[in-house]
């Protein structure tokens, strides 16, 4: 072993050197392109996530209500329960995909109602509906707040950038 290999951190340095040899530095055009990619709105991410999760909960709630209907614990036709639950699940997934559109948000509000009304069959489903309604409201409120703060931060950074450019222009004259 050489003296270089026995010094503390030599192995780490050689690994870091090997890693830098394997991955070349991105060109300025590539790094600028990745930095310019716009960030997805927080409201969009939150609402899509809530609706997708709610669709899975609707699936499992449908299975519970369907088994209750088949075993006579709930007075409802099992086929209607299964069909209605499947339709709700599909519509929730569809609404999750349409959150970029204004009417997608309205559709999602409307789809909160069946989860609450399903509590007439199984009260636990209404409890899940209330929980998801609260999560939905929080997703809208927090998402819009985050989006507003991001916009303010970007505007402040742009203003600072313009000021720096103007100062640099005066210095070179």
Give the residue extent of every domain in the chain: 41-166
Please compute the mean of the pLDDT values over residues 148-163 and round it to a whole number: 89
pTM of the model: 0.71
> In the predicted model, is pLDDT for residue 25 greater than 90?
no
d(C-alpha 96, C-alpha 104), whole Å? 8
By the 10 Å C-beta count (0-12 exposed, 13-18 middle, 19+ buried), 146 is classed as: middle
Q: What CA–CA distance (Å, rounded) separates 145 from 143?
A: 5
Whole-angstrom distance, CA of residue 92 vs CA of residue 99: 11
Residue with tokens 């509906």: 129
pLDDT tens per residue, range 34-64: 566 788 999 999 999 999 999 999 999 999 9
State pLDDT tens for residues 57-70.
Answer: 999 999 999 999 99
Answer whether residue 8 shows pLDDT above 80.
no
Nearest-CA neighbor of 91 among 117, 59, 121? 59
């Amino acid at each position: 072993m050489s003296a270089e290999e026995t010094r503390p951190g030599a192995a780490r340095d050689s690994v870091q050197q090997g890693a830098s040899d394997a991955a070349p530095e991105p060109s300025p055009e590539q790094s600028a392109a990745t930095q310019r990619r716009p960030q997805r709105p927080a409201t969009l991410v939150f609402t899509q996530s809530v609706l997708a999760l709610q669709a899975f909960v609707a699936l499992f709630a449908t299975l519970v209500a369907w088994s209750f209907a088949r075993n006579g614990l709930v007075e409802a036709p099992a086929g209607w329960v299964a069909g209605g639950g499947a339709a709700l699940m599909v519509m929730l997934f569809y609404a999750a995909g349409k959150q970029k559109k204004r009417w997608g948000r309205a559709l999602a509000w409307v789809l909160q109602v069946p989860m609450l009304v399903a509590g007439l069959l199984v009260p636990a489903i209404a409890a899940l509906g209330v929980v998801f309604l609260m999560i939905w409201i929080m997703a809208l409120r927090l998402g819009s707040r985050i989006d507003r703060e991001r916009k303010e931060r970007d505007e402040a950074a742009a203003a600072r950038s313009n000021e720096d450019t103007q100062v640099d222009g005066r210095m070179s004259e």
